[in-house]
Amino acid sequence: MNNKKVLVMCTGNSCRSIIGEALINAELKGVNAYSCGVAPSGKVNPNAKKILQEKGIWDDSYSSKHLDALSHIDFDLVVTVCDNAHETCPMFPGKTKTIHVGFEDPDGKEFEAFVETYKEIKAVLLREVSNALS
């Protein structure tokens, strides 16, 4: 995989999509990941940031944003990680492939829920993205 661009979408772009973006960027060689929300909260959940910092894969460029902020990028793959984003995902032009890999929202829960979400996203999302890009 060389220079593939992946977009991870959820509703608020504060937890799951940010964790997915960070994991893809850290683990999948030749893949650049981005994230956005269909109704972005405008902030990264502190527990999502904390788990990514603990794992050594936090980047200060990660932020909660709308798809419009990324409209200049041609994505090879769009992944929705929540049902709301899946149902409201816009059409992407050309050969952009879309897949849905849902995860429970840890927002509003204890830090341990974010640890579990991180583990689940790492185990499932990375495999699904690799498969979809190959």
Q: Tell me the catalytic residues.
A: 10, 82, 89
Distance separating alpha carbons of residues 17 and 79, to the nearest angstrom:
9
Question: Partners of 10 in the beta sheet?
Answer: 37
Distance separating alpha carbons of residues 123 and 120, to the nearest angstrom:
5
The DSSP annotation for 100-128 comes to: E------TTS-HHHHHHHHHHIIIIIHHH
